[in-house]
Amino acid sequence: MRSLTTLEAQFLNRLKEAIHNRMPDSLVERAFVTQPQSKGPSLQVALQMAGHPLLVYFDVLIYGTRPVRYHLETAADDQGKLCRGFWNRLLGALNLVVPKSGERSGRLHLFYEVRYPDKELKKLGEK
């Protein structure tokens, strides 16, 4: 597996904290980073829903810094749609770009644009 960018590492740390400190009403029980199916620059994150043995796979592409953009893509099935609440908690529901998000060609696309304070961006290596 390739090395992570600083934005990807920050995202995975936030994901780890969200799973570790999960709310009692959270539908997501566990998360895994898996080897991506494609050779592109995206990560593949698998979420396991509470009470379900199956994993929901998301391709996650992270780019930009002002704002940081997250593009999450999965199958447009019931479990994929249930995960939207988890991503809204992690990345902020108000950061969801609704006009770009939605179902296309049997895939669910979620676009988030997160504006971090300058202090946080400096920690991530942004000048």
* Alpha carbon separation from 73 to 16, 61, 116 (Å, rounded): 19, 9, 23
- Each residue's pLDDT tens digit, 71-107: 999 999 988 888 998 999 999 999 999 999 999 999 9
Sequence spans of domains, the chain: 6-123
CA atoms within 13 A on the CB side of 86: 30
The band of 118, judged by pLDDT with boundaries at 50, 70 and 90, is confident
User: Is the pTM here over 0.85, yes or no?
Assistant: yes
- Each residue's pLDDT tens digit, 30-57: 888 887 666 777 889 999 988 888 899 9
Q: What is the pLDDT of residue 93?
A: 94
* Alpha carbon separation from 4 to 22, 53, 64, 76, 79 (Å, rounded): 24, 28, 15, 27, 27
